[in-house]
Amino acid sequence: MEVFMKTIGKRMVSLVVLAALGTTLVGYAALSKTDLSVHSETRPQPAYMAPPERFGDPPADAIILKASEWRSDKGGGPAKWKVVKDENGLEYIEAVKKAGGIHTAQQFGNCQLHIEWRTPAVVKDRGQGRGNSGVFFMGRYELQVLDSYENPTYADGQAASIYSQVPPLKNVCRKPGEWQSYDVCFLRPIFDKSGKVVRKGRITVFHNGVAVHNNYEIQGLTQHKRVAAYPRGGHGDKGPLSLQDHGNPIAYRNIWIRELPEEIPSNQPYIKKPGEK
C-alpha cells in the first residue's frame, strides 16, 4: 500500500510538472492547455469523417458549389452562365461570352478545392485564345485554365500555371473536349495593420492527379504583363472563389470546397506567425 501511494504521489508530481511545462513550453496561448508531447494519450483525437466513396467525390464536410451558388461579376446578380445537364443528368456550368466572370456568394480563405473543367472539343484560335478561363482564389490569385494540349504559349500562362508567376512542373493537359481536374490546397496571405504582407499565400496543385505545384509561395496578384506584388493596403482574410470569362465556352462541374484551419494542433508551428522567432 505504501509503495502504491508513493507511486501515485510521484505520478501526481509528474502530472503537476507536466501541466506547468505545458503552459510555458507551447508557444500558442490557444494550445497551452493541450498536452502535445510525443505520443501523448491526452492529445485530442481527430474527428472521424467517413471518406468519399471515390476520389473526387465531395467529403461530408465539403461545401458543394452548385450553379445556384454563383453570382455574376457584372452586377452581382445570379450568374449568367449556361447550366447544362450531361447525358448522366449531372449538372455543369459553361461560360458565356461577354456574360462576365462569376464568383461565389460565400467567401473563403484557407481551403481545399476540387474542380473539374473542360475546354471545347472543337479547337479554335491558338495560344491564350484557346480555351482560356481561370480559377481565382480570394478573387485575386489565378490558377490558369487553358487548352494546353499541343498549344504553345508563354510558360507562365499555360494550363495550371500560377498566372504571370510560375509554370506547372509538368504539362499534364488532356485533349480538348475531355474533362480534367484540379485539386488544390490554398493558404491565404496575411497582412499587418498597415497592409504590408507578413506571410505570403501558398498553393499546392494537382492537375489530373499529378502534383504540379508543391507549396508554391504566391508572389502577389496574378495580373497580365505585370510583375506580381501584393496590393498596397492588403485585403481581407477571405474572398470569393471566382471563375474567369475569357470569351471561351469553358465548362466546369463537380466543384466543392472545404475550409481549412489556420493552424493544426501541433507541437510545431504550422507556419510561423508574423513576427514569431
Q: 205 near 143, Cβ under 8 Å?
A: yes
176 near Mg ion (CB under 5 A) = no
For Cα atoms 18, 23, 25, give the angle at the middle one, nearest 5 degrees. 80
CA-nearest of 74, 135, 76 to 99 is: 74
C-alpha 149/C-alpha 260 separation (Å) is 33
Nearest to 230 by CA among 262, 189, 202, 271: 189
In terms of CB distance, is 197 or 205 closer to Mg ion? 205
In the bound state with Mg ion, the residue whose beta carbon lies nearer, of 36 and 251, is: 251
Q: All 3 cell numbers of residue 104?
A: 461565389
Interface positions, 182-221, toward Mg ion (CB under 5 A): none
Query: Taking the complex as a whole, how short is the minimal distance between the CB of residue 136 and Mg ion, in angstroms?
Result: 9
Report, in Å, the least distance between residue 208 CB and Mg ion.
18
Identity of the residue, 158 or 244, whose beta carbon is nearer to Mg ion in the bound complex: 244
Q: Extract the C-alpha cell encoding 96.
A: 458565356
CB of 212 to Mg ion, least distance (A): 16
Question: Smallest distance from the beta carbon of 235 to Mg ion, in angstroms?
Answer: 20
In the bound complex, which residue of the shown chain has the CB atom lying closest to Mg ion?
134
Q: Which of residues 219-248 bind Mg ion (CB under 5 A)?
A: 244
Instruction: For the beta carbon of residue 129, count every other beta carbon within 10 angstroms.
Output: 15
Supply the minimum distance, in Å, between the C-beta of residue 74 and Mg ion: 17
Nearest to Mg ion of 119, 132 (CB atom): 132
Q: Cβ closer to Mg ion: 219 or 244? A: 244
Among residue numbers 86 through 145, which ones bind Mg ion (CB under 5 A)?
132, 134
Pick between residue 34 and residue 128 the one whose CB is nearest to Mg ion: 128
Rounded to whole angstroms, the Cα distance separating 132 from 104 reads: 20
Q: Look up cell 458543394; give the residue.
A: 64
Helix (H, G, I), strand (E, B) or coil at 25: helix
Residues in the interface with Mg ion (CB under 5 A) total 3
Contact 115, 181 (CB under 8 A): yes
Q: How far is the CB of 128 from Mg ion (least distance, A)?
A: 8
CA angle at 186 for the pair 134 and 232, rounded to the nearest 5°: 80
- The contact set with Mg ion (CB under 5 A) reads 132, 134, 244
